[in-house]
């Protein structure tokens, strides 16, 4: 509970920060770091200044790296936002360029080692999005409910959607 209150206070203070109020931004103006172990998404400016944090949830409770399609895990690596669109179920959706070449390398190595079935598929359609309508409580309660995406409250995804441009780097860590 304390952590949630701190995150909300930080979010409110960051909204007052004029460096995040720009209406015209390029992909190099910001980058996002998502840390699965702390259930946190942080936005930084191009000068490595931390601007704001948002609480997030994922797919699988074990928080492991995505192994294959259908495992509900969130991938770890360096991605970029490739598209932004409204979503009929989850408010807004920021598509990530998963899988990348690095993801294919990890996937194929895992197949060779027998860690995943030889007929497994890598999956796709990973992004950052909101919650079902009126279900922001899932974020407050750390309910990992997605199929591998990153989810935050709808009020936060609306803010990110307005400010963060396509092409922005997204780093997802354990």
> pLDDT tens digits, residue range 26-46?
888 999 999 999 999 999 999
> What are the extents of the domains in the chain?
2-173
Alpha-carbon span 99 to 81, nearest angstrom = 12
- How far is residue 127's CA from residue 98's CA, in Å, rounded to a whole number? 8
Of all residues in the chain, the percent with pLDDT exceeding 70 is: 86
- What is the three-class DSSP state of 55? strand
The SS3 of residue 159 is: helix
In tens, the pLDDT along 13-25 reads 444 343 444 456 7
pTM (two decimals)? 0.85
> What is residue 1's predicted lDDT score, i.e. its pLDDT?
52
How does residue 90 score in pLDDT terms, banded at 50, 70 and 90?
Answer: confident
**Phi, psi of 102, rounded to the nearest 5 degrees:** -65, -40
Euclidean distance between CA atoms 99 and 120, whole angstroms: 14
| Nearest alpha carbon to residue 69 among 113, 151, 109, 124 | 124
Give the C-alpha separation, 34 to 77, whole Å. Answer: 10
CATH number of 2-173: 2.40.440.10
> Tokens representing 152?
């935050």
């Amino acid at each position: 509970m304390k952590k949630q209150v701190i995150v909300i206070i930080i979010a409110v203070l960051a909204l007052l920060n004029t460096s995040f109020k720009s209406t015209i931004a390029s992909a190099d103006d910001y980058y996002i770091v998502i840390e699965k172990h702390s259930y946190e998404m942080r936005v930084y400016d191009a000068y490595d200044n931390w601007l704001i944090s948002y609480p997030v949830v994922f797919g699988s409770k074990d928080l492991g790296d995505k192994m294959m399609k259908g495992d509900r895990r969130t991938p770890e690596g360096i991605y970029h936002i490739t598209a932004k669109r409204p979503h009929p179920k989850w408010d807004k959706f920021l598509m990530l360029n998963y899988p990348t070449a690095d993801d294919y390398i990890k996937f194929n190595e895992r197949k060779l080692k027998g860690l995943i079935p030889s007929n497994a598929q890598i999956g796709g359609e990973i992004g950052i999005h909101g919650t079902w309508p009126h279900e922001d409580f899932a974020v407050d309660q750390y309910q990992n409910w997605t199929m591998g995406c990153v989810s935050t409250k709808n009020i936060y995804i609306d803010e990110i959607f307005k400010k963060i441009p396509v092409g922005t780097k997204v780093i997802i860590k354990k």
